[in-house]
Homo-oligomer: A and B are copies of this chain.
Amino acid sequence: MDETPGSVSLFLRLGQAIFSSAALLLMSVGVEFFSYTAFCFLVTIMGLVIPWSCTLAMFNIYSAIFPRSLRHPGLIVIVAIGDMVLSILSLAAASASAGVVDLLLHLDGTHCPPKFCGRYQLSTTMAFFAWFLTAASSLLNLRLVASG
């Protein structure tokens, strides 16, 4: 769909899907994330990033197989705006979670047993990776919109 080198775009999408899935699973399975607003926000946003990235990865594969089938300028604008919104939201979610994890580590141990805290930290790190890749996609698509 977008005209960046297809493999770069596809790798970015796959990376986003992998990192956001990891963040979602680490945060939501077997951990009490629902006690903290920031963690709920992180889970929600990662739940939005996963279908977005998977859909666009499939579009990328499709347009690699059938070149020039999906090149519509309006689509690129929509994808660029969506990427930018999702990258802002995922940065906000990852930062909020990082702030909360740091505070929980500095409070007494009752709020954050070591097993849970490690999961929270790992999930937040994965969310930052997902943000970085989403921001890269967003900049690539913005460049396309500007040049096209």
Chain A residues at the B interface, C-beta cutoff of 8 Å = 36-38, 88, 91-93, 95-100, 102-104, 106-107, 111, 142-143, 146-147
Contact = CB atoms under 8 A, between A and B. Distances in A.
A111 to B, nearest CB: 8
A147 to B, nearest CB: 8
Contacts of A146: 142-143, 146-147
A96 B98 CA distance: 7
A102 B92 CA distance: 14
Nearest to A100: B99
Contacts of A95: 91-93, 95-96, 99
Contacts of A103: 36-38, 100, 103-104
Nearest to A92: B95
17 contacts: A37-B99, A37-B103, A37-B106, A38-B103, A91-B91, A92-B92, A92-B95, A93-B95, A95-B95, A95-B96, A96-B96, A99-B99, A100-B100, A103-B104, A142-B142, A143-B146, A146-B147
